[in-house]
Amino acid sequence: MLIIIVVYGGMLTLSFLQIRKNYQLDDIEPYEELLQSENTKPVSILVPAYNESVGIYGSIRSLLSIEYPEYEIIIINDGSTDDTLEKLITRFKLVKINRVIRKQLDTKEIKGIYQSTLYPHLIVLDKENGGKADALNAGINCSRYPYFCSLDGDSIIERNAFLKVLKPIIESDDEIIASGGSVRIANGCTIQSGEVISIGLSNKPIVIMQVIEYLRAFLTGRVGLSQNNLLLIVSGAFGVFSKRWVIEAGGYAHTVGEDMELVVRLHRMVKEKRLNKKIVYVPDPVCWTEAPDSIKYLRRQRKRWHRGLFDSLWKHRKLMFNPKYGSIGFVSMPYFFFIEFLGPLIELIGYILLIVAVFTGSIHFEYALLFFLLSLIYGSIYSMSAVLLEEWSMERYPKVRHFVILFLVSLTETLWYRPLTVVWRVEGMIEMLFGKRGWGEMVRKGVSND
Amino acid sequence: MIEISLAALFIVFIALLFLLVSIFFYLFVKKYFNNQTRMEIFQLKEDYQLDMFHYLQTGNGEWLNSSLNQEQLIALMELLTEYSNVLDGPVVEDRIREFADKYLTSFIKKELKKGRWSLRMNALYAIEGLYMKQLIPSVHALYKKRRTTIAEKSQIVKLLARFHDPQVPQYLKDIHEDLSNFSLLSIVSNLEEKTLDELIENFNELSKKLQYVVIDTIGKKQLTHHHMLLHRLLSEDDEELRIRSLKAYANSGLPIDTNLLAAFFESDNWQVRMMAAKVTGVERIERFKLQLIYLLSDREYIVRSEAAKSILRFRDGEGILTMVVDQTKDLFAKDMAIEWLEKERNNHSY
């Protein structure tokens, strides 16, 4: 318990210092030059799509209006069984083209390549179903530019997010090989034609709770870890990678959490080849995504995440406490294994023991109650600090009312949300033991009005 | 024992509760007042907008009191910066500078001395955006301070280069190893031609990093009077220098010595072969058409692609690629030729 408090507290402090430094920095001027310069490196945006018919149009529309000097959008239709491809063909007036694909990574067969006659930099790859990792690898093969960004088909990106996420890469002369931005929850926001018109909060506590969770994870954990090049996740919803180094590392692997696995592999490669390369996280660029708004789908998501986490850790278990891998081996890997992966199990055992103890009377009631209140307050302080960081860095939630709701809901976390996620994650562990694989389905409602 | 622990725990609980409530109220009050201030600034900008536009058009600036509060200053600065981003021309620039000098000088001077990094950076952006040459001495002073970060120094040198300050070459030499290529390129391409010429005169004394940037700038700005330097660099031992000068030829369209170019098609380095193909296309050198066809079968994808693109620059380019499609047995060359012919027909350079 104490270790967890110290670790989280440490990360929070690092994040505070970093974010405070940038607080109130002008939102436009630092990026003007990147936007106008012909030396800004072009980027390929890869959007894997499997049965994304509902959300894909809005998502692509948001990509067509981003502020970036030169980019291409490659949508990879990964053998969808719905009308994703047909919708793209009619909406963007696609025509079939001949294009040479540089096969640097192995993928399932490409059935056809299409180009939009309205937007020449919009390309659609139609391929046989091979999973998200396979789709992304196909996208990498087809891409023209030195950097690529993987983006989920159901997310909406803010217009200047690419400038912000690529700034550190460009200014580091390629020393930074991957850079991730923040992901926020779109439920409750008004989105039209792929642009966030007004930011709001959903009225479902389960979604608000996830908003707080995202704020916390992104603002505290990742800024703290990024500072010391310990970052193990560049979010699957929004991250930019150097193509050369991803290919060198072997591209995406077929696993549940392919985004995290790739980042761990990049870290591993950096250490093994003794390269002077970094992976960073930039809190400000924001990508909005649809969060599950029912217990059923949230449970599936969390179980999947937990299996994904274990997959990555297991694949790279060699790194754990291996002096060759330095801080990744001694800090990041143990952190993700003991705190993120095993934590829920220990917590669940704690809950069970507590309940048993209350019934058998072997526990001092006041003592238990006080401990409970303490954990409640501690969790809340952590969430509130994340809200404070949000205020200092981005101020995305404009109204005082939003902030009061976030606070009140965060107070209830320990009572229901936390135990639920703990149980789901332990369920994920159990499923993993019995070898369950695959994604589990999530029904998309689509975040944008067409 | 439990009694004592309970008391201790209770104290911790109260302390944490106090901390939580304090954070909550701090955020609550701060958010409320921030929103109020932002609204006030927004309103002020609305109020000033027409008068400001009128001033920038006619030069009539007698619509403001001389004593302005913090919010008014911020509103004016934001408004002026927004106009400066969309309006161009020497007269407007002069008016923006005059206005900023008159009303914003002391405000921005104070901001330059702030403890927080982001505020100092904002001030530097404002000085550049509002052409406030009057503040150059303060900028030099900031550069010389010990706590000034490299990001600030980079921004300072950039804006000084834009204002043609004579200190820039020295600053460049001092800190260029810490700057990214992107920043260096932006600084060097903003130098006055005279200053750049001086830098190029001492080319051999520059570090490799600066040499590369200088060559890129010659190409980008098409500084044709430095063609002798580019010519000399084509025979340098350092391969990167040769690649950069080929790139400068491709960017500037300067006529290249074809005898020197001939050897590059055989290079082991694909970047050299690609650049050779590019220069041949840009300058439409008939003599090397065959080499371009040969490069369509290169083992590197990018070289094949560049060769096809270059062939299309010739008047008979489409004919050549069609011939390749009909006759070649190399599937790589054929695919590439088909792709580029299709692009040409659809009028897509991408």
The per-residue pLDDT for range B55-76, each reduced to its tens digit, is 998 888 777 777 789 999 999 9
Residue A384 to residue B35, Cβ atoms within 8 A: no
Look at residue B11 and tell me whether its pLDDT is greater than 50: yes
Residues A159, A93 within the same domain: yes
Residues B122, B215 within the same domain: no
Cβ-nearest to A22 among B9, B13, B118: B118
β-strand A122-127 against A71-78: which pairing, if any? parallel
Residue A366 to residue B119, Cβ atoms within 8 A: no
Residue B102 falls within a domain, yes or no? yes
Residues B267, B323 within the same domain: yes
Residues A284, A196 within the same domain: yes
Structural domain ending residue among the three candidates B148, B182, B208: B148
Residues B212, B173 within the same domain: yes
Residue A384 to residue B121, Cβ atoms within 8 A: no
CB atoms within 10 A of CB B177: 10
Task: Write down the mean pLDDT value for chain B.
Answer: 91
Residue of A nearest to B341 (CA): A98
Residue A400 to residue B35, Cβ atoms within 8 A: yes
Residue B185 to residue A391, Cβ atoms within 8 A: no
Both tokens assigned to A136: 């992304």
Residue B206 falls within a domain, yes or no? yes
Residues A285, A403 within the same domain: no
Give the residue among A129, A121, A138, A146 at the shortest CA–CA distance from A65: A121
Residues A261, A350 within the same domain: no
Residue B180 to residue A99, Cβ atoms within 8 A: no
B66 lies within 8 A of chain A by CB:
no
Residue of A nearest to B304 (CA): A100
Mean pLDDT by 10 residues, chain A (450 residues): 70 72 76 78 93 85 89 95 94 92 92 94 96 95 93 82 90 88 86 82 92 76 58 64 95 86 90 89 81 92 90 91 87 86 91 84 77 78 76 75 87 87 94 67 49
Integer Cα distance of B117 and A17 in angstroms? 12
Residues A94, A183 within the same domain: yes
Which segments of A122-260 are extended strands (E)? 122-127, 147-151, 155-157, 176-185, 190-192, 195-198, 238-242
Q: How close A379 comes to chain B (CA, Å)?
A: 10
Residues A99, A239 within the same domain: yes
H or E stretch including B129? helix B117-129
Q: B5, B6, B24: best mutation site toward chain A, by most A Cβ within 10 Å?
A: B24
Residues A185, A258 within the same domain: yes
Residue A33 falls within a domain, yes or no? yes
Number of compact structural domains in chain B: 3
pLDDT for B130 equals 93
Both tokens assigned to B255: 């006529």
B24 lies within 8 A of chain A by CB:
yes
β-strand A122-127 against A176-185: which pairing, if any? unpaired
Residue A133's domain is classified under what CATH number?
A: 3.90.550.10
End-to-end Cα, chain B, rounded Å: 77
Measured between beta carbons, the chain B residues lying within 8 angstroms of A366 are 6
Residue of A nearest to B121 (CA): A25
Residue of B nearest to A146 (CA): B302
Residue A37 to residue B186, Cβ atoms within 8 A: yes
Residues B42, B130 within the same domain: yes
Summarize pLDDT for B144-193 with one digit per residue, the tens: 999 899 999 999 999 999 999 999 999 999 999 999 999 999 999 999 88
Residue A302 falls within a domain, yes or no? no
Instruction: Answer yes or no: are the C-beta atoms of B159 and B126 closer than 8 Å.
Output: no
- How large is the C-alpha radius of gyration of chain A? 22
B42 lies within 8 A of chain A by CB:
no
Integer Cα distance of B145 and B112 in angstroms? 11
Mean pLDDT of B196-222: 93
Residue A171 to residue B19, Cβ atoms within 8 A: no
DSSP designation for B205: G
Residues B192, B244 within the same domain: yes
Instruction: Answer yes or no: are the C-beta atoms of A385 and A185 closer than 8 Å.
Output: no
Q: Which residue has the higher pLDDT, B257 or A31?
A: B257
Residue B154 falls within a domain, yes or no? no
Reported ipTM exceeds the 0.90 cut: no
Integer Cα distance of B57 and B79 in angstroms? 15
Residues A280, A348 within the same domain: no
Measured between beta carbons, the chain A residues lying within 8 angstroms of B126 are 29
Residue B272 falls within a domain, yes or no? yes
Residue B313 falls within a domain, yes or no? yes
Residues B93, B133 within the same domain: yes
Residue A225 falls within a domain, yes or no? yes
Measured between beta carbons, the chain A residues lying within 8 angstroms of B251 are none
B240 lies within 8 A of chain A by CB:
no
B37 lies within 8 A of chain A by CB:
no
pLDDT for A39 equals 78
Residue A334 falls within a domain, yes or no? no
pLDDT for B345 equals 85
Measured between beta carbons, the chain A residues lying within 8 angstroms of B81 are 29
Structural domain ending residue among the three candidates B234, B255, B276: B255
Integer Cα distance of A14 and A402 in angstroms? 26
pLDDT for A237 equals 56
Residue B222 falls within a domain, yes or no? yes
Residue A315 falls within a domain, yes or no? no
Among residues 106-135 of chain B, which lie with CB inside 8 Å of chain A? 116-119, 121-122, 125-126, 129
Integer Cα distance of A62 and A189 in angstroms? 15
Residues B249, B262 within the same domain: no
Summarize pLDDT for B210-236 with one digit per residue, the tens: 999 999 999 999 998 999 999 999 998
Domain that holds residue A219: 28-294
Residues A267, A368 within the same domain: no
Give the residue among A138, A151, A74 at the shortest CA–CA distance from A111: A138
Task: Determine the angle formed by the axes of helices B70-86 and B117-129, rounding to 10 degrees.
Answer: 50
Residues B204, B114 within the same domain: no
Residue B156 falls within a domain, yes or no? no
Residue A325 falls within a domain, yes or no? no
Residue B234 falls within a domain, yes or no? yes
Cβ-nearest to B6 among A115, A370, A384: A370
Q: Is A23 exposed, middle or buried (0-12, 13-18, 19+ CB in 10 A)?
A: middle
H or E stretch including A417? helix A417-433
pLDDT for A25 equals 77
Q: What's the order of all strands across the beta sheet hosting A155-157?
A: A94-97, A110-116, A122-127, A71-78, A43-49, A147-151, A238-242, A176-185, A278-289, A155-157
Residue B182 to residue A173, Cβ atoms within 8 A: yes
pLDDT for A379 equals 77
Q: How many beta-carbon pairs below 8 A join chains A and B? A: 117
Residue A417 falls within a domain, yes or no? yes
Residue B122 to residue A29, Cβ atoms within 8 A: yes
Residue A173 to residue B118, Cβ atoms within 8 A: no
B14 lies within 8 A of chain A by CB:
no
Q: A371, A377, A414: best mutation site toward chain B, by most B Cβ within 10 Å?
A: A377
Q: How close B122 comes to chain A (CA, Å)?
A: 6
pLDDT for A439 equals 47
Residue of A nearest to B31 (CA): A400
Cβ-nearest to A98 among B2, B339, B348: B339
Instruction: Answer yes or no: are the C-beta atoms of B275 and B302 closer than 8 Å.
Output: no
At A351 the three-state DSSP class reads helix
Structural domain ending residue among the three candidates B205, B231, B255: B255
pLDDT for B321 equals 96
Integer Cα distance of B65 and B51 in angstroms? 13
Look at residue B287 and tell me whether its pLDDT is greater than 90: yes
pLDDT for A441 equals 47
Residue A377 to residue B20, Cβ atoms within 8 A: yes
How many residues are present in chain B?
350
- How large is the C-alpha radius of gyration of chain B? 30
Residues B180, B225 within the same domain: yes
Residues B122, B83 within the same domain: yes
Residues A203, A350 within the same domain: no
Residue B186 to residue A366, Cβ atoms within 8 A: no
Residue A327 falls within a domain, yes or no? no
Integer Cα distance of A326 and A336 in angstroms? 15
pLDDT for A218 equals 62
Among residues 80-109 of chain B, which lie with CB inside 8 Å of chain A? 81, 85
H or E stretch including A136? helix A132-142
Cβ-nearest to B183 among A72, A171, A374: A171
Q: A18, A39, A372: best mutation site toward chain B, by most B Cβ within 10 Å?
A: A39
H or E stretch including A114? strand A110-116
Measured between beta carbons, the chain A residues lying within 8 angstroms of B30 are 391
Number of compact structural domains in chain A: 2
Domain that holds residue B332: 257-350
Residue B160 phi/psi, 5-degree rounding, is -65, -35
